[in-house]
Amino acid sequence: MRVTVIDYKAGNLTSVLKALRHLGSEPEVTDGDLTLVGNAERIVLPGVGHFQATERLDATGLTPAIRAAIARGVPFLGICVGMQWLFAGSSEAPDQSGLAHFNEQCTRFPQSSEKVPHVGWNSLEVRAGSRLLAGVEPGEFVYFTHSYKAPVTANTAAITHYIEPFASAVENANVMGVQFHPEKSGSTGLKILTNFLSWEGSGAA
Amino acid sequence: MITKRIIACLDVHGGRVVKGVQFVDIIDAGDPAALAARHAREGADEIVLLDITATHEGRQTLLDTVRRTARELFVPFAVGGGIRSADDAAQVFEAGADKVSVNSAALADPTLIDAIGRSFGAQAVVVAIDARRDPDAADPVRDAQVFVQGGRKPAGRRVVEWAREAEARGAGEILLTSMDSDGMRTGFDCELTAAVSEAVSIPVIASGGAGTVDHFVDVFGRGKADAALAASIFHFDISSARSLKQELAKAGVSVRLPC
């Protein structure tokens, strides 16, 4: 199965590619080939690092290409900053817009006695009906590393508690995102990626 | 709830895992890729591979080892030893590491931390600090001396001020090794760990001295560690990460179980 992985020069793609290959898919990487995105069967937008890095998606014309792919029902998975990009923006880079598929803003964890970034294995409260997180049982853990987070809304597929509840996964028809790193989350993460790879569309969001 | 991480550390020399006592008296403990896979299978939350005698000639061996180790590893994987530039780091990431750990080179040129963070994100930069208490200092713990070159040479820095600078430059985590405790199996240096953990807001990984389950309970409690490194406790079938975590859970420490 073909998976188009978007490279916007925000960190390292090796782990994501390795996990996708391990699961039997054939990832193809692009940093701006709009034809490839136009013909994509599935799209993964990874990303570690700063929200500002997503400006490259605008500069290369990938943003409208991805928007069009989503509109024709292509399954899309954003990971970490790639999930946050689905929102209108992030206080990490206030002048940089996201895709605004979801209208809310991502924000930094508030000051507390807890450490920021949130680094390590934390659990998921999966909302009923999530297809991306099907088969993930209560008490399963996934690996996080981030300082900014998305708010809990009607499109939240899983909630995680750290300082306050935040959206650790989002899902709206073919548009999915995870704040954690499924490629680094052991068998639970591989199960989630498998769900994404076997997602069969029922049309666009 | 966020869990305390148990990190399996593989000290690698010439492509083999080794274990020394206080950085000397090295003995062979096996193949890195096989050991990393085993630790992940047995519940380790993360794997760290440290090339303890990193030499220029050894770089290719290390990259091959990283590539081989990363291939089937789906938990976070950090690599350290001999990373002197952002280009060195890029090669290690390319080979499959998720994080790099920098030590001597960051002390020689602290802007290395900024440079790697800019390219790969703060979460990818672990600053490793080897420290030994300084009995002559006003505060022997907070002013513990930082050492470079595998513990052979004082760096002229104090542990808390260096950890703070590392954080300010964009380090994502601190890997703190107590040279007084390393390999002794007499327990972590909880005072040292707490002093650093309270001084920074990034996670601190405690290292050096693991011998019993109580040592881990102690460093997560009194030591305020976010994660703890164990090497000798695992290599010779003394304990697996899973059995360690089961014991920690009984003692009230939040850990990733089942795993």
Nearest to B175 by CA among B152, B156, B202, B150: B202
Q: Do B203 and A19 touch (CB under 8 A)?
A: no
Residue B150, both tokens: 């595998």
Model confidence pLDDT, tens digit, residues A82-94? 999 999 999 999 9
In total, chain B counts a number of residues equal to 259
Which residue of B45, B70, B123 is in closest CB contact with A18? Answer: B70
State the nearest Cα–Cα gap between A71 and chain B, in angstroms: 31
Q: For chain B, state the CA radius of gyration.
A: 17
Asked if residue B105 has pLDDT above 80, the reply is yes
pLDDT top residue among A152 and B184? A152
Which residue of B3, B75, B120 is in closest CB contact with A122? Answer: B3
Q: Which helix (H) or strand (E) holds A24?
A: none
Residue B130 carries which side chain, given as an amino acid letter? D
CB pairs under 8 A between A and B: 94
d(CA B2, CA B225): 13
Residue whose entry in the numeric block shows the structure tokens 């300010």: B168
What mean pLDDT, rounded, does chain B reach? 91
The predicted complex's ipTM stands at 0.93
A123 touches chain B (CB under 8 A): yes
Asked if residue A203 has pLDDT above 70, the reply is no
Residue A177, both tokens: 């995102």
- Please state the rounded mean pLDDT for residues B83-87: 93
Distance linking the first and last C-alpha atoms of chain A: 22
Which of the following is catalytic: A22, A80, A101, A104?
A: A80
Which pLDDT score, from 0 to 100, does residue B57 have? 65
- Do A172 and A155 meet the contact criterion of CB atoms below 8 Å apart? yes
- Please give the share of chain A, as a percent, with pLDDT higher than 90: 90
Q: Do B3 and A120 touch (CB under 8 A)?
A: yes
Asked if residue A136 has pLDDT above 70, the reply is yes
d(CA B85, CA A103): 41
d(CA B186, CA B179): 12
Partnered with residue A147 across adjacent β-strands are none
Asked if residue B242 has pLDDT above 60, the reply is yes
CATH architecture of B5-250: Alpha-Beta Barrel (3.20)
SS3 state at B185: coil
d(CA A202, CA B4): 40
Please report the domains of chain A, with CATH numbers, ordered by start residue. Answer: 2-197 (3.40.50.880)
Q: Do B75 and A143 touch (CB under 8 A)?
A: yes
- Do B157 and B167 meet the contact criterion of CB atoms below 8 Å apart? no
Partnered with residue B130 across adjacent β-strands are B147, B177
The string of DSSP letters for B135-165 reads TTSSSTTTTPEEEETTTTEEEEEEHHHHHHH
Please list the active-site residues of B.
Answer: 11, 130
Model confidence pLDDT, tens digit, residues A8-62? 987 779 999 999 999 999 999 999 999 999 999 999 999 878 899 999 999 999 9
Which pLDDT score, from 0 to 100, does residue B25 have? 59
Which pLDDT score, from 0 to 100, does residue B251 have? 97
d(CA B216, CA A157): 35
Q: What is the DSSP letter of A52?
A: G
What confidence category does residue A120 fall into, taking pLDDT thresholds of 50, 70 and 90? Answer: very high
Q: Domain segments of chain B: what residues?
A: 5-250
Neighbours of B87 (CB within 10 A): 11
Which of the following is catalytic: A104, A106, A183, A200?
A: A183
